[in-house]
Amino acid sequence: MGQTIVYVIVSLVVCLAYFTAVDHFLMDSQGLDFWYLLRK
């Protein structure tokens, strides 16, 4: 059970980091700000 929780947490962290990077860099490559709403 403990091992499963570790696997889930590691997977979530990796995937979350990956998708955030995708969102940020692909918007940045178009000259757009992904964090527009937060910065406003």
Partner 1 sequence: MGLVAGKKLFSVMALCAMIGLLLLPIAVSLPSLALGADAPEEVKKDGEAKVEKGRDVYYKTEGIVVGAPAPKTVDGPRDYPRYNFESRVLLWFANQQHLYYGSFVLAVPIFCMVIEFMGVVTKDKAMAKRYDQLAYDFIKISLTAYSLTAVLGGILIFTFLTLYPAFFGYLSSIFRPVMHIYALMFVAESGTLYIYYYGWDKMKDGFLKWIHLSMSVILNVIGTLLMFLANSWIGFMMSPAGVDEQGRYLGNIWHVIHTALWNPLNVHRILGNMAFGGGVVAAYAAYKFLASKTDEDRAHYDWMGYIAMALGVAFLIPLPFAGYWLMREVYAYRQQMGITLMGGLLAWLFIIQATMIGILFLSTNYYLWQALGRMRGAEKYQRYIKYLVFVLCCGFLVFITPHTIVMTPAELKAMGGQQHPVLGNYGVMSAKNGGINVIITTTILSFVWYMRGNKVSTVSWAKFGNIFMGCFFGLAYVNIIGLAIYGYYIPANVRVGLSVPQVATTLSCLFFMFALNSVMMKGAKQMGAIEWGKISARSQYALIMLATAFTWMMGLMGYIRSSVRLFWHVNEIMRDNSPWAYTHTVGFAANMISFNVLFFWISILFVFWLGSLGIKKAPVEAKAGVPGGAPQPAGGH
Interface residues with partner 1 (CB under 8 A) are 3-4, 7-8, 10-12, 14-16, 18-19, 22-23, 26-27, 29-30, 32-34, 36-37
Q: d(Cα 10, Cα 37) in Å, to the nearest integer? A: 28
User: C-beta of 15: minimal distance to partner 1 in Å?
Assistant: 4
What's the closest the beta carbon of residue 25 comes to partner 1, in angstroms?
Answer: 9
Cβ 16 to partner 1 shortest distance, Å: 6
CA distances from 32 to 1, 4, 11, 15, 19 (A): 43, 39, 29, 23, 17
Tokens, residue 36: 């527009």
